[in-house]
Amino acid sequence: MRWSPRAGLLSWLDGRLSEAQRQLPPEELGRYRVLIGATCLLLAMDVLFLVVPLGSQQQASPIQRVMGFGCLVGYLLVLLLVRWVRSLHLPSFILCSTLTASFVVTTLVIENPNSVSHAAGMLVPILSVYLLGARLGFVFTAVFIFNTAFFHQFYHSGFGQVRPLFADGFAWMKNAMAALCLLLAWSLSWLYSTAREESHAALERALKTLRENEGKLLSLIESTDDLVLALDLEGRLVTANHVARELFHQLRNRAVLTGGFLHELSPPEERWVLRDRFAQAVTGQRLRTEVSLPVDGRIRTLEITFNPVWEGRRVVGMTVFGRDISERKEAEARLEEMHRSLLDVSRHAGMAEIATGVLHNVGNALNSVNVSADVVVQRVRGSRVVGLERAVELLRENGSSLGTFLTEDLRGRQLPAYLEALSAQLQQEREGVLEEMRRLSESVDHIKSVVSMQQKHARFSGVTERVEVPGLIDDALRLLAVSFDRLGIQLRREYCAQVPPVLVDRHKLLQILVNLVSNARHALLESGRQDKQLTLRVERAGEKLRIAVADNGVGIAPENVSRLFTQGFTTKTEGHGFGLHISALEAEEMGGALTCESGGPGQGATFRLELPLT
| 133 plus 22 within the same structural domain | yes
Query: Taking a C-beta distance cutoff of 8 angstroms, is the pair 433, 374 a contact?
Result: no
pLDDT at residue 354 above 70? no
**Residue 82 contacts residue 91 (beta carbons within 8 Å):** yes
Any domain includes 219: no
Q: Do the domain assignments include residue 526?
A: yes
Are 474 and 566 contained in the same domain? yes
Query: With 60 as the cut, is the pLDDT of residue 132 above it?
Result: yes
Give me the pLDDT at residue 165, please: 64
- The whole-angstrom separation of Cα 296 and Cα 326 is 13
Q: Does residue 211 belong to any structural domain of this protein?
A: no
**Residue 405's pLDDT is what?**
74
Mean pLDDT of 441-461: 62
Return the top range by mean pLDDT from 6-15, 504-513, 527-536: 527-536
* Weakest mean pLDDT among 254-258, 491-495, 601-605: 254-258
| CA–CA distance, 480 with 518 (Å, rounded to integer) | 7
On whether both 445 and 489 belong to a single domain, the answer is no
pLDDT in tens, 382-431: 776 777 777 777 777 777 777 777 777 777 777 777 777 777 777 887 78
Domain count for the chain, please give it.
Answer: 4
Q: Does one domain contain both 32 and 78?
A: yes
- Please tell me the predicted confidence (pLDDT) of residue 548: 93
Among 449, 470, 500, the domain boundary falls at 449
What is the pLDDT, as a whole number, of residue 482?
Answer: 56
- Compare 498 and 546 and report the one with higher pLDDT: 546
Give a yes or no: residue 32 inside a domain: yes
Domain shared by 481 and 507, yes or no: yes
Identify whether residues 373 and 273 lie together within a single domain.
Answer: no
- Whether residues 25 and 130 share a domain: the answer is yes
Entry pTM: 0.41
Across the range 319-340, mean pLDDT stands at 81
Using the 3D structure, point to which of 279, 294, 324 is the last residue of a domain.
Answer: 324
Q: What pLDDT is attached to residue 537?
A: 92
153 near 147, Cβ under 8 Å?
no
Which of 548 and 116 is assigned the larger pLDDT?
548
**pLDDT at residue 80 tops 90:** no
Residue 208 in any domain: the answer is no
Shared domain for 63 and 193, answered yes or no, is: yes
Where would I find the beta strands (DSSP E) of 268-338?
A: 287-295, 298-311, 314-324
3-class DSSP state for residue 291? strand
| pLDDT tens-digit map of 455-490 | 665 555 566 788 888 888 887 777 665 557 777 888
Q: Which of 425, 449, 473 is the last residue of a domain?
A: 449
- The CATH number assigned to the domain holding 246 equals 3.30.450.20
What span, in angstroms and rounded, lies between the C-alpha atoms of 285 and 277?
A: 9
Where are the alpha helices (H) located in 18-133, listed in sequence order? 19-22, 26-51, 62-84, 89-109, 123-132
pLDDT of res. 546: 92
Q: Domain for residue 139, yes or no?
A: yes
Q: Which residue has the higher pLDDT, 440 or 492?
A: 492
In this structure, are 309 and 341 located in the same domain? no
Euclidean distance between the first and the last CA atom of the chain, given in angstroms as a whole number: 73
Higher pLDDT among residues 99 and 568, named by residue: 99
Give 57's pLDDT tier (boundaries 50, 70, 90): very low
- Residue 199 confidence (pLDDT) above 50: yes
- Report d(CA 434, CA 604) in Å as an integer: 47
What would the DSSP string read from start to end of 490-532? EEEEEE-SS---EEEEHHHHHHHHHHHHHHHHHHHHHH--SSE
Asked whether 457 and 478 are in contact (CB, 8 A), the reply is: no
Instruction: Please compute the mean of the pLDDT values over residues 329-356 and round it to a whole number.
Output: 72
Q: Which of 49-53, 241-245, 460-464 has the highest mean pLDDT?
A: 241-245
Higher pLDDT among residues 200 and 586, named by residue? 586
Query: Residue 551 and residue 573: Cα distance in Å, rounded?
Result: 20
Q: Tell me: pLDDT of 549 over 90.
A: yes
On whether both 39 and 87 belong to a single domain, the answer is: yes
For residues 277 and 288, what is the distance between their CA atoms, to the nearest angstrom?
A: 8
- Is the pLDDT assigned to residue 576 strictly greater than 60? no
* Strands 464-467 and 605-612, sheet pairing: unpaired
Whether 262 and 291 have beta carbons less than 8 Å apart is answered as no
Cβ proximity of 388 and 415 under 8 Å: no
- Residues 303 and 439 both lie in one domain: no
- Tell me whether residue 608 is in a domain: yes
Residue 43 CA from chain centroid, whole number: 70
| CA 10 – CA 6 distance, rounded (Å) | 6
Q: What are phi and psi of 56, to 5 degrees?
A: -70, -30
Residue 374 lies in a domain: yes
- Verify that 521 and 473 share a domain, yes or no: yes
Domain of 262? Answer: 224-324
Quote the pLDDT of residue 1.
46
Sign of CA dihedral 464, 455, 501, 612: negative
266 pLDDT exceeds 70?
no
What confidence tens digit (pLDDT) does each residue in 205-223 have?
888 888 888 778 777 777 7
Give the CATH number, domain containing residue 498. Answer: 3.30.565.10
pLDDT band at 547 (very low <50, low <70, confident <90, very high): very high
Q: Which residue has the higher pLDDT, 395 or 139?
A: 139
How far apart are the C-alpha atoms of 464 and 462, rounded to whole Å? Answer: 7
Of the pLDDT bands very low, low, confident and very high (cuts 50, 70, 90), residue 432 is confident
